[in-house]
Amino acid sequence: MKKILPILVVAALAVGGWFWWQQRNAGEADGLTLYGNVDIRQVALAFDGSGRITELAAQEGDRVRAGEVIARLDMQALQLQAKAQEAVVEAQRQALLQLQAGSRPEEIAQARAKVASAKASAELANLQRDRAARLVTSRTASQQDLDRTESEAKAANAAVDQDSAALDLILAGARPEEIAAAEAKLREAEAQLELLRHNIALGELRAPADAVIRSRLREPGDMASAQSPVYALALTDPKWIRVYVREADLGRIRPGMAAQIVTDSFPDQPVAGVVGYISSVAEFTPKSVQTEELRTSLVYEVHINVADKEDRLRLGQPVTVRLDDGAAP
């Protein structure tokens, strides 16, 4: 019995080693099996400006679409300013149109009438001056009368020149520089109006993408600011699985490999995925690696991108990931 016992022990060890080798080869042939958790990108959504919240349209757990309004601020003050600025824009627009159209026919007729009246007054003043000059020669009028009539004639002739110049300006219309200045003022007023409208639009908080409301962090009546999120959103697409691979298995995976994700809730309905990011930095690593045993304890983070069209996966959910060494997406 003492001779047979060692032989039986050696045989048992041999059988066990052979069985372990077969299981190891079978596992390698079937690919890698990894364990991880579902990870979802999240957004802390806040208003760009500040103000008092008047409406919150979504609750925790609600699904929202990209661009959907889920909260509003009190924008009454800005809306009143925008109405006032609309009036300023319209006034500037009409002023520009007036310069571009030139003077009305009635204004031109009025200017011509003033010129005709000034000429008539100047003609009368010139006649009185000439008469006064003759009377001074015949010594029937004083030099003072002549000086007065000459002054009146000069003033009347100047009035003719002034009214004629005004008529020429009316006929010529506005200068290009005046029109350009009016156009610039109109653009300035329009830009100010657009800024007000933009600030009013910022009073509506919109979902940046299709998502699920994870947390509602404010309530109507609260003061909002750019530093205080109103909602925490979980983006439903894309989803990905975070797993860790041993250093010994790192050479067996590559970006683009097909993957099957299995959950405890749906063990017979795997979700398809693809290997995406593979970390180039080991984690849980000692500062100095000195032995072969320590090298095999290194792990690397790997992301498996998932197309979860039926929305089975939840944030933080534990899953099993199976990778086929020869599979391609």
- pLDDT band at residue 329 using 50, 70 and 90 as cut-offs: very low
Is residue 206 within 8 A of residue 135, CB to CB? The reply is: no
**For residues 63-81, average pLDDT:** 94
Is the model more confident about 65 or about 29? Answer: 65
Per-residue pLDDT at 219: 94
Assess whether pLDDT exceeds 60 at residue 185.
Answer: yes
36 closest CA partner among 321, 252, 280: 321
Same structural domain for residues 84 and 138?
yes
175/107 same-domain check: yes
Indicate whether 270 belongs to any domain. Answer: no
Quick check: is 101 in a domain?
Answer: yes
Domain assignment present for residue 329? The answer is no
Range in 14-23, 77-86, 117-126 with the lowest mean pLDDT: 14-23
Last residue of a domain, one of 186, 214, 231: 231
Q: At how many degrees (to 10) do helices 143-172 and 105-137 cross? A: 160
pTM of the entire predicted model: 0.59
Which residues does residue 74 pair with via DSSP β-bridges, in sequence order? none
Tell me, what CATH number does 216's domain have? 2.40.50.100
Percent of the chain exceeding pLDDT 90 equals 29
Q: Is the pLDDT of residue 101 over 80?
A: no
For residue 33, is it within any domain?
A: no
CA distance 179 to 92: 11
Tell whether 210 and 166 lie within a shared domain. Answer: no
Tell whether 112 is covered by a domain.
yes
Q: Please indicate, yes or no, whether residues 87 and 183 belong to a single structural domain of this protein.
A: yes
Is 55 among the domain residues? yes
* CA–CA dist 261, 318 (Å, integer): 10
For residue 26, pLDDT over 50 is answered with no
What mean pLDDT is reported for the chain? 82
Last residue of a domain, one of 198, 223, 241: 198
Establish if 159 belongs to a structural domain: yes
As a whole number of angstroms, the distance between CA 233 and CA 58 comes to 11
For residue 108, pLDDT over 90 is answered with no
Q: Is the pLDDT of residue 29 over 50?
A: no
Residues 69 and 60: their CA atoms lie apart, in Å, by 15
Are 88 and 189 found together in one domain? yes
> Is the pLDDT higher at 103 or at 150?
150
Do 107 and 174 belong to one domain? yes
Residue 100 has pLDDT above 90, yes or no: no
Asked if residue 88 and residue 69 are part of one domain, the reply reads: no
Give the domain range for residue 67.
44-74+202-231
56 domain residue, yes or no: yes
pLDDT band of 172, cuts 50, 70, 90: low
Number of domains the chain is built from:
2
In terms of domains, do 151 and 210 share one?
no
Are residues 89 and 166 located together in one domain of the fold?
yes
Same domain, 120 and 209: no
Q: What is the pLDDT of residues 298-311, one digit of tens each?
A: 788 889 898 887 77
Q: Are residues 162 and 66 in the same domain?
A: no
Residue 328 pLDDT class (50, 70, 90 cuts): very low
CA torsion, ordered 13, 19, 25, 27, to nearest 10 deg: -120
What confidence tens digit (pLDDT) does each residue in 226-242 have? 899 999 998 877 788 88
Q: What angle do CA 65, 70, 71 make, to 5 degrees?
A: 160
Same domain, 191 and 206: no
